[in-house]
Amino acid sequence: MASRAPTADPIPSPATLVERARALIPTLKARSEAAIAARTLPAETIRDLKEAGFMRVLQPRRHGGYEHDPQVFYDIQMTLAEGCMSTAWVYGVIGVHPFQLALFDARAQQEVWGGDDGTLVSSSYQPVGKVERVPGGFRLSGRWGFSSGCQHCQWTFLGALIPPLEAGGAPEMRTFLLPRSDYQIVEDWNVFGLQATGSHGIVVDKAFVPDYRTHRAIDGFLIKSPGQAVNTSPLYRVPWAQVFVRAVSSAAIGALQGALNSYTSIAAKRVSTNTGKATKLDPFALNAAARTQSAIYEMKSVLYRNYDELMAKARAGIEIPTSDRLRYRFEASQVVRRCAALCDELMPLLGGRAIYMDSPVVRYWLDINAARAHVANDPAIVGTPLGAMYCGETTLTEFFI
């Protein structure tokens, strides 16, 4: 079946999309407590994200998407996080999946988007599945965790290692694409932060997955995925890993801005009950605000610079050096820990009230710290091969970069 014609509606500009995200901030704040109690985002929020066009930012135009540069996607995510980091996290995870689906065989894209190009896909990339080779594809079984927003999705991406064909060979990492009828959701999300992301578990029991509904990690690394035959935009010549890792770190930048906004609002009016001094006259409090805002600008500047470089190379058809790919990954991996440290600094400067759950800063603090648990946000993992390269040692060229 042929793909539908690209959307006839005008593609909204990056500025328009970010304005729409900013307009949602008060609504997201108002919904946050109910979302936390439910351990998932409300259907109304998912509808708002879809109606604003946010889920189409990285989606192919041939399937109704916008094919904007990644910077636009992260701008939207960081803006949403100023209101609710859980919303921004789910947007980052689900909203980045159209990029990977665009790399799959065209048949897989058609199965997902052919009937409804607004169909959403969740994921869990942990390679914990059990795979059996069968004619035409694979049998997949297992239990995966951390599938953010899965209750709002009709398909899922799941990671697994395929056993080698020959003894002594290396297993092959792939992403498997399954419809909602092939897996069960296990509601096991009970955490201290990012509580509203609904990152529940996924269980699969011997589901058949045709070969064309898998994506080889090596293809993503080499930028030679089958979907590039039909999705020829330079966007899809950016390495998949480079796009994904920022989707699970950039929300922390927006959440830190939200925390700082709350901090400065409180500091402008607060008088310490211990000292009787106004917080706005406290040099420690003022310097903390200055350091935090400066760091936010710096982290955003690095993000924009890196994707400017990636997109320029993709448009020119220039190979992206391994050294650059490792550096981009390393810079992405540091973001959440930096944001957590800066938010840690703000908390005690607001006095004892800051630790109450109704404090406007504590929610951002909890969510940012929860994001540290994602493996992509551990700088030690990528720092080792990057440092080895700087010292003249050979690096793993197939590292997730």
Instruction: Give the residue carrying structure tokens 């001094």.
Output: 277
What CA–CA distances, in Å, run from 377 to 55, 248, 336, 370? 23, 8, 6, 11
91 and 201 in a single domain? The answer is no
Q: Do 307 and 350 fall within a single domain?
A: yes
Instruction: Write down the pTM of the prediction.
Output: 0.95
On whether both 203 and 81 belong to a single domain, the answer is no
Is residue 5 situated within a structural domain? no
At 2 the pLDDT is 41
Q: Is residue 1 part of a domain?
A: no
- C-alpha distances in Å from residue 385, one per residue of 26, 172, 203, 242, 372: 43, 21, 34, 16, 20
Q: Is 172 helix (H, G, I), strand (E, B) or coil?
A: strand
**Predicted local confidence at residue 4, as pLDDT:** 47
Asked whether residue 135 is assigned to any structural domain, the reply reads yes
Which residue is associated with the tokens 């955490």? 191
* CATH number, domain containing residue 157: 2.40.110.10
- pLDDT at residue number 33: 95
- pLDDT of the residue at 264: 95
Q: Does residue 268 sit in the same domain as residue 224? A: no
For residue 150, the enclosing domain spans 121-229
> Do 148 and 19 belong together in one domain?
no
Q: Tell me, yes or no, whether 94 and 201 share the same domain.
A: no
Q: Which two tokens stand for residue 307?
A: 């994707």
| Domain identity same for 343 and 380 | yes
Answer yes or no: do 113 and 126 share one domain.
no
pLDDT of residue 398: 58
pLDDT tens digit at each of 401 positions of the chain: 344 445 557 899 999 999 999 999 999 999 999 999 999 999 999 999 999 999 999 999 999 999 999 999 999 999 999 999 999 999 999 999 999 999 999 999 999 999 999 999 999 999 999 999 999 999 999 999 999 999 999 999 999 999 998 888 889 999 999 999 999 999 999 999 999 999 999 999 999 999 999 999 999 999 999 999 999 999 999 999 999 999 999 999 999 999 999 999 998 988 876 677 888 889 999 999 999 999 999 999 999 999 999 999 999 999 999 999 999 999 999 999 999 999 999 999 988 878 888 888 999 999 999 999 999 999 999 999 999 999 998 766 555 78
Number of domains in the chain: 3
Is residue 217 in a domain? yes
CB atoms inside a 10 Å sphere around CB 156: 25
User: What is the total residue count of the chain?
Assistant: 401
140 with 111, same domain: the answer is no
Q: What pLDDT, on a 0 to 100 scale, did the predictor assign at position 3?
A: 44
CA 178 – CA 140 distance, rounded (Å): 10
Tell me: do 110 and 127 sit in the same domain: no
Residue 302 sits in the same domain as residue 363: yes
Among 195, 248, 253, residue whose Cα is nearest residue 31: 195
CB-side exposure of 302: number of CA atoms within 13 Å?
A: 19
**Are 94 and 112 contacting, i.e. CB atoms less than 8 angstroms apart?**
no
Query: Which residue among 208, 229, 250 closes a domain?
Result: 229
In a domain, 310, yes or no: yes
Question: Which stretches of 112-271 are assigned E, i.e. beta strand?
Answer: 121-134, 137-147, 155-162, 172-179, 184-186, 200-210, 214-216
Distances (CA, A) of 210 to 140, 155, 161, 179: 10, 15, 15, 12
End of a domain among 229, 253, 273? 229
Q: Is residue 285 located within the same domain as residue 385?
A: yes
**138, part of any domain:** yes
3-state class percentages of the chain: helix first, strand second, coil last, to nearest 5: 55, 15, 30
